Structure 1
């Protein structure tokens, strides 16, 4: 290999971006890239080609090279005339078996492609998109449906472009991805909330219980509660069911349910390798209970979540969108710092369109389209505010809240915070971008948006209101910062706070307090 210091410098001049390229599915092969004037020669293994940029592993590390400035020679060189974009997607089976295929088909239909589906074996399905006129292949999507752990493992092995995940990336996975040159998977733009789901407890039809408190549900799955009689049910031992340990559903259940109380899963929980098997097991066990997603409950009976103070919150679409339901579960797509092929980038942009949101809803998941909820549909919330008002929340405070909010409508876009932190949670971070995009697109031009802060009931009411107001102001500033092209004159953005005046859940648990600490968005 011929490579002088000057050549290295020149090579960096043709590096169009620091972003890596999507990996090819074939094994890396030798290539030599030569600048058109013959002054620069780069030799190494071709790791990826997206139709425009080469990614080459060399003795000096990985280089990303603009293909328009070089000639390629060697067995690894792609056929530029017959190039077909390849996008590999791997991870959670509940997403890969239903949601992603529906979205790819919707994208193909909207973009004018013909689409052909074929079984690639071992849990893999291939979708070939072809030009509707010429019939020439344009892109190949390969979906590998396994589990969340396998999705991240495929990413670290350079075998996939996108990870389907039912949980956030683990610190060790993010660390290894960083070391592999894939960027910070926890950074802005690396994680995308594709859709929403909810973790729901299910029992067999005919089970006497209709709801369960989060405290008791955690007690069941941690082994503290082992008999249904402790919950007012029959005198029978409780059998528990959950997905296999590598499944994102199982990991999310442990994170969201047991994490806040630092409990561990009971050792005798019965595991299943698919959501369908999980539901079937509960359906045939009158004394069993499982945690699954709202999209995969089959004919089992869902239990609402309640609290000691009388709240009962079912896993409805609206409650999940607003995160009023405490076990809302975002569906994530993770991408490393890689340049996807053009078709892949177009597909990724399609995912945020209203058309894609309709596909998400039809597939049984919860879309992220903002809805406006009139005050008339929120009677239960205001009734709870009155019934649960603490000693420091007087009639004057409640009247001020009602007078302020009655002329407005609540958006389903809400903002909540990590456990014990002032940092926004994953769904809320995604909501910043969603609302900013809507503002930039002019969807709320001429209207007034009010960011309203609420708190839990721990501590003095006045202090709680001040904390809630600071959070509301923080979210308002984050939206303005994200909406870079927004003309502030087109819209009014304000902040207000009512502290602990309208709880959404009981303050008797860590989950309830986390639900109550929120910033809502109201619009007029």
Structure 2
């Protein structure tokens, strides 16, 4: 019999999900009868028991023990139970689509049962045996509630429209759930963006990120200040406790050093928000890219004249600065096999097709030829100052013209050398593609770019270092790949091809990136 004691504050490596057996006394006895352990069964994942004993929380390999007591599970007809809580945006469409796609691909029949407005479940039945294999139970509210359920041990997976906050991370670690900021504790399953919207009959079509922040801080109150009619601005935003509502404050308001105005009309559902804005000529709203509906999306424009519009491609590359990844978080404990298979499926190529059909931005890499990027080259020429020589622009065009840009890009957290959440997910995606041999006999070049702050020579050196750091991260993640079958190179052009204006923090952050070009 193998026992592992979870030391205080350490990650619980193995867990269980049989909630029906929770808080029930059991006795586990080794098959030779020499060791006996009594405690409260916290869960069973089909292979391992998790028991709360006088020695602390222990995990026990089920193959080496016999279980006795009212909480003992049925080993012959074990049904895996997975509790998923959090974002209603993800729970409404995306997660059901992924579960149904997973069931179809793996020979299960998926039956949905709705209990009330916030609770529903999927029962997955094996088509060959007719036996119930798993129950995926959902509670759809908001990201805050999802993390609260996780910390209360009432959820196994959190659907989140933002990254875990510092206080949630600390409490999860104290509860023995491991370091929730580690790469294997979260997975980006889809991409979205925060999009400013107006009614179709509103003449305003562009807004700068700073003006957007000032409007939502109450500093700009009339459309005439934004090039529109002389009329007051009516502000609309998602509910404060939703992940998108919190992402808006993090990415738009706090970044500008401002506070959200109290005069914002809040909405629990994004589609209700976009419908309201679309019918009000003087309304300004913020919604997810998937929920723009009949409203008119505004283009983000900087004072230097460069503009970025939310499209599936610009969100996937993070060229659009207000991206909003959709996360699945799980604690450091073992999930049932079918749950692990589902999470693996959610990050695979089949799930990307399902994600796209569900109306969200998938993570499947696309190859974009240089001919389709004329605006980027125009920016490079227009922005070239005395420090960017014509020969450097010619070198860039010479290198990139026979290649195609992957939509897989890498950017960094503000004021940090750490990759942001979407980019960390991109490392795993590209690593898996290398392991599968998708780029065998091809050449990939990691190309670094920078903002225009400081000397151009120093910026190019920093951009080259970032490109090398990303290349190393991808190689390290591609543990089973034969890297001798693919050429992985680095290069850098510093500030030679800006995506946005350097006059703002968001613009500089957008410009600091590593692109991947393939031939």
Q: Name the CA distance, whole Å, in 1 between partners of 2:2 and 2:13.
A: 18
SS of residue in 2 equivalent to 1:21: coil
2:201 aligned residue: 206
- With over 3 angstroms needed to count, the CA separation of the structure-2 counterparts of 1:405 and 1:267, relative to structure 1, is same
- For the pair 1:123 / 2:118, whether they are aligned, the reply is yes
Task: Report the Cα offset of residue 308 of structure 1.
Answer: 1.1
- More deviation in 358-367 or 346-355? 346-355
Q: Which residue of 1 aligns with 2:289?
A: 294
What is the CA deviation profile of residues 161-210 of structure 1, one whole-angstrom value per residue up to 9, with x for unaligned ones? 11000000001101111111111100120011111001100111211011
Aligned with 1:312 (options 287, 297, 307): 307
Alignment of 1:262 onto 2:260: no
Report the Cα offset of residue 98 of structure 1.
0.2
Cα 1:429–1:69 shift into 2, 3 Å: same
**Do the aligned residues in 1 keep the contact of 2:12 with 2:178 (CA within 8 Å)?**
no
Q: Which residue of 2 aligns with 1:350?
A: 345
The structure-2 alpha-carbon separation of the partners of 1:121 and 1:211, relative to structure 1 and needing over 3 Å to count, comes to: same
Contact kept in structure 1, 2:42 and 2:52, CA below 8 Å: yes
- Residue 193 of structure 1, aligned match among 188, 193, 198: 188
* Distance in 2 (alpha carbons) for counterparts of 1:447 and 1:308: 40
Matched residue of 1:290: which SS? strand
SS at match of 2:104: helix
* Distance (Å, rounded) in 1 between the aligned partners of 2:423 and 2:50: 34
Give CA deviations for 1:456-504 in whole Å, capped at 9, x if unaligned: 0111111111111111111111111111222232111111110000000
CA distance in 2, matches of 1:312, 1:46: 57
Identify the residue that residue 516 of structure 1 maps to in structure 2.
511
TM-score, length-scaled by structure 1: 0.96
Distance 2:228 2:2 in 1: 75
Q: What SS class does the counterpart of residue 480 from structure 1 fall into? A: helix
Q: Does 1:384 align with 2:379?
A: yes
**Structure 1 pair 412–288 and aligned structure 2 pair: CA distance change class (3 A):** same
Say whether residues 1:151 and 2:146 are aligned partners.
yes
* Deviation of the 1:389 alpha carbon: 1.7
Q: Given that residues 22 and 161 in structure 1 are in contact (C-alpha distance below 8 angstroms), is that contact kept between their aligned partners in structure 2?
A: no
| Unaligned runs of at least 5 residues, structure 1 | 1-8
Matched-pair contact (CA < 8 Å) for 2:6–2:12: no
Partner of 1:19: 13
What is the number of residues matched between the two proteins?
515
* CA-CA distance at 1:122 after TM superposition: 4.3
Could you tell me how far 1:87 is from its partner in structure 2?
A: 1.1
Could you say what the CA RMSD is over the residues aligned between the two structures, in angstroms?
1.6
Shift of 1:386: 0.7
C-alpha contact (below 8 Å) 2:84/2:137 kept by paired residues: yes
**For 2:504 and 2:102, how far apart are their aligned partners in 1?**
43
- Structure 2 counterpart of 1:82: 77
Aligned to 2:419: 424
> What CA distance in whole angstroms lies between the structure 2 residues aligned with 1:219 and 1:495?
40
CA contact (8 A) 2:410 2:423 kept: yes
Q: Which residue, out of 476, 480, 483, partners 2:475?
A: 480
Q: Give the match for residue 321 of structure 1.
A: 316
Deviation at 1:310, TM superposition (A): 1.3
Give how far 1:11 is off.
Answer: 3.8
| Native 8 Å contact 1:446 1:491 kept in 2 | yes
Which TM-score applies when normalising by structure 2? 0.97
1:330 aligns with 2:325: yes
* Alpha-carbon distance in structure 2 between the residues aligned to 1:299 and 1:415: 32
263-272 or 149-158, which moves further after superposition? 263-272
CA contact (8 A) 2:6 2:56 kept: no
Matched, 1:400 2:399: no
- The aligned counterpart of 1:97 is 92
Provide the C-alpha distance between the structure 1 equivalents of 2:248 and 2:163, rounded to a whole number of angstroms. Answer: 12
Structure 1 pair 418–38 and aligned structure 2 pair: CA distance change class (3 A): same
Question: Who is 1:243 aligned against?
Answer: 238
User: 1 CA distance for matches of 2:453 and 2:110?
Assistant: 56
Residue aligned with 2:460, SS: helix
Instruction: Name the counterpart of 1:61.
Output: 56
Question: Which of the numbers 405, 412, 423 marks the counterpart of 1:410?
Answer: 405
Cα deviation for residue 159 of structure 1 reads 1.0
Corresponding residue for residue 273 of structure 2 = 278
Secondary structure of 2:63 counterpart: helix
SS in 2 for 1:338: coil
Indicate if the aligned counterparts of 1:130 and 1:136 stay in contact, CA closer than 8 A: yes
Q: Distance in 1 between matches of 2:257 and 2:151?
A: 29
User: 3-state DSSP class of the match of 2:145?
Assistant: helix
User: What 5-or-longer segments of structure 2 have no aligned partner?
Assistant: none
Match of 1:133 among 128, 136, 140: 128
Give the match for residue 441 of structure 2.
446
Task: Measure how far apart 1:61 and its partner are.
Answer: 1.2
The alpha-carbon distance between structure 1 residues 232 and 122, as it changes in their structure 2 partners (threshold 3 A), is closer
